[in-house]
Structure 1
Amino acid sequence: MNPILYINWDIDPVIFSLGPVKIQYYGLIFVTGLALCYYIIGHIYKKEKIYTPNAMEKLFIYAVIGIFGGARLGHCLFYDFEYFSSHIIEIFIPFRENANGVYEFIGYKGLASHGGAIGLFIAMLLYSRKVHIPFPKIIDIIAILAPLGGAFIRISNLMNSEIIGRPTDLPWAFIFRYVDDLPRHPSQLYESISYFIIFLIAYSLYKYKRQMFKVGSYFYFGFSIFAIFLMRFLLEYTKENQESFEDSMFFNMGQILSIPFIVLGLYLILRSYIQSSKMTTKTTKVTDKQCRK
């Protein structure tokens, strides 16, 4: 394959610096994705008649803390425990002393999606109690937008030239110049596109659910985590392992952590279907009984 056809990716992840603080594309795109999700959730809240300024304000706070805190802890525990177990303060205060004795902001480069999913789930459980909205309704609404947020996060990874793919000779291969000169799978784009498609499906199912079918509680949550982590599991085969200890594993850490989410998602989808079927049968029996009267 002619190397001229490959995409040379040499974008500096830092937009500009303010002293020791560096403003990066990663953070900008991450926040943009959260803001868009927040905006769409506001419309869904209004449609579900649960919208209040207080509920929306607290949603943003709880969601950001849950996603960021869970994702950061997930990376530190699952991918780099040996280092962070002896540098605990750097988990949430990412400043490191350089050779000149000056502390530099190193950024939050380690964020694990599995930890973010768990953190968001816990945060929404606490949030539902705070604003007195049923947890199943909240987690289903959040699940509709979760893939869209994931799509933005993977674009952020692309801008950072991280979570790179394995070498390939496909014509759409990227050469990540900040890493090496090998053409590689743009695995970040694969995931981003996959998550965006999952979001479109989930949102369409929600928007047209009355015309198409009825679902029980936790359907959208089950669908999202099943679809997201199934794609994550499959696309791991196009990626380089993130840590060296994964090289000797049959499934890497990302795949192992995805399996419980896939199983749970499938269970919740089936549970929702059975719940909906029982409700439909019960409604039909009540209607028939009323007609006989």
Structure 2
Amino acid sequence: MNLLNYILWNPPLYLFHIGGFGIRWYSTCWLIGLLLAYFVVKRLYKEQKIEDKYFDPLFIYCFVGILAGARLGHCIFYQPDYFLTSWPHVIEMLLPIHQTIDGAWKFVGYEGLASHGGTIGLMIALYLYYRKTKVNLWTVLDNIAIATPTTACFIRLGNLMNSEIIGKVTDVPWAFIFERVDGAPRHPGQLYEAIAYAIIFFIGWYFYRKSAKKVGSGFFFGLCLTLIFAFRFFVEFTKDIQEPFEAGLPLDMGQILSVPFVILGLFCMFGGKWMKKLGAD
């Protein structure tokens, strides 16, 4: 195996520093993804003549829902044996701080976010937004779903910059050597997902342009869930396990959590009209 044939990957964690404060690539990618979704949904609301007063609080609901859900999802799904075993660890789960060996607290940011948890958090946040504004629930879900793949794409690019959620060892010519991890050529699973989510965004946008009248039926929400989590299920075969307990499972945690989302997505695409009354004005 000639390691010179592969892509050496070890980018800096920080985009830039201002004094002693640094801006991480990961945080920047999250921000770019959220801003892109913000502008996409703003345009959709404008085209659908939904009043600005209903759009203004939407970003706050989505931001809090995604961040809280992603954080809790990682802690509960992937590391419950750590975060649920002591009060200091529970505090670490809820706040972006970590207790050092000497008992002091250090700001570290949120180290560990799960996309499945973020999706659940987003869905809960959108339901609360619907209850507050009374905008048709399916309209809200469809519009967010059209924009969501842009955020998912940049989150995975952030993972790539962090050299995390790495793939299995491989000899494919486009393999990455994550120097921060080890010297083995691996599948760039983060890049696979980022490219797929970008394509899924354009698929959703194409269908929206062809049939905007479907907004409010649950079709776009179902399409987004189905495509993203079906791809997520299969791409997991190229990725290394994230936690040791997954080694004894027939499917990893990402695949197990993807199945119900695919089922929900298919139901919303083809049976959403049965539940449309839930989002009635």
Cα shift at 1:37: 0.8
**Cα contact 1:14–1:23 (8 A) shared by 2:** yes
**Distance in structure 1 (CA, Å) of the matches to 2:33 and 2:22:** 20
TM-score by length of structure 2 reads 0.91
Match of 2:83 in 1: 84
Match of 1:242 in 2: 242
The structure whose Rg is larger is: 1
Moved more, 59-68 or 6-15: 6-15
Taking a change above 3 Å as real, the CA distance of residues 260 and 187 of structure 1, as seen in their structure-2 partners, is same
Cα shift at 1:55: 2.3
**Cα contact 1:236–1:255 (8 A) shared by 2:** yes
**Cα contact 1:216–1:272 (8 A) shared by 2:** no
Taking a change above 3 Å as real, the CA distance of residues 131 and 78 of structure 1, as seen in their structure-2 partners, is same
**Cα contact 1:148–1:199 (8 A) shared by 2:** yes
1:78-131 Cα deviation digits (max 9, x unpaired): 000111112111112222233566533222121111111111011011112222
Give the counterpart of 1:170 among 166, 169, 172: 172
Taking a change above 3 Å as real, the CA distance of residues 267 and 101 of structure 1, as seen in their structure-2 partners, is closer
Equivalences for residues 2-81 of structure 1 within 5 A: 2-16=2-16, 22-52=22-52, 54-81=53-80
Cα shift at 1:272: 4.4
**Cα contact 1:67–1:117 (8 A) shared by 2:** yes
**Distance in structure 1 (CA, Å) of the matches to 2:111 and 2:30:** 12
Taking a change above 3 Å as real, the CA distance of residues 93 and 20 of structure 1, as seen in their structure-2 partners, is farther
- Structure 1 vs Structure 2: percent identity of aligned residues? 48
Moved more, 129-138 or 175-184: 129-138
> Which letter does structure 1 place at the counterpart of 2:188?
P
**Cα contact 2:143–2:215 (8 A) shared by 1:** no
Cα shift at 1:35: 0.6
Coordinate RMSD, CA, aligned? 2.1
**Cα contact 1:215–1:272 (8 A) shared by 2:** no
Equivalences for residues 59-208 of structure 1 within 5 A: 59-85=58-84, 86=86, 87-99=89-101, 102-208=104-210
Match of 2:252 in 1: 252
Partner secondary structure for residue 15 of structure 2: strand
Moved more, 95-104 or 64-73: 95-104
> Which letter does structure 2 place at the counterpart of 1:115?
G
Match of 1:285 in 2: none
How many residue pairs end up in the alignment? 273
Match of 1:270 in 2: 270
**Cα contact 2:208–2:214 (8 A) shared by 1:** no
**Cα contact 2:217–2:272 (8 A) shared by 1:** yes
**Distance in structure 2 (CA, Å) of the matches to 1:127 and 1:101:** 40
Partner secondary structure for residue 31 of structure 1: helix
**Distance in structure 2 (CA, Å) of the matches to 1:275 and 1:233:** 26
**Distance in structure 1 (CA, Å) of the matches to 2:150 and 2:16:** 27
Match of 1:209 in 2: 211
Partner secondary structure for residue 224 of structure 1: helix
Cα shift at 1:215: 7.2
**Distance in structure 2 (CA, Å) of the matches to 1:63 and 1:193:** 23
Taking a change above 3 Å as real, the CA distance of residues 216 and 128 of structure 1, as seen in their structure-2 partners, is closer
**Distance in structure 2 (CA, Å) of the matches to 1:215 and 1:100:** 55
> Which letter does structure 2 place at the counterpart of 1:40?
V
TM-score by length of structure 1 reads 0.87
**Cα contact 1:42–1:51 (8 A) shared by 2:** no
**Cα contact 1:225–1:262 (8 A) shared by 2:** yes
**Cα contact 2:32–2:151 (8 A) shared by 1:** no
Partner secondary structure for residue 175 of structure 1: strand
1:174-206 Cα deviation digits (max 9, x unpaired): 010110000000000000111111110011101
Taking a change above 3 Å as real, the CA distance of residues 74 and 207 of structure 1, as seen in their structure-2 partners, is same
Cα shift at 1:262: 0.7
Partner secondary structure for residue 23 of structure 1: strand
Cα shift at 1:5: 2.1
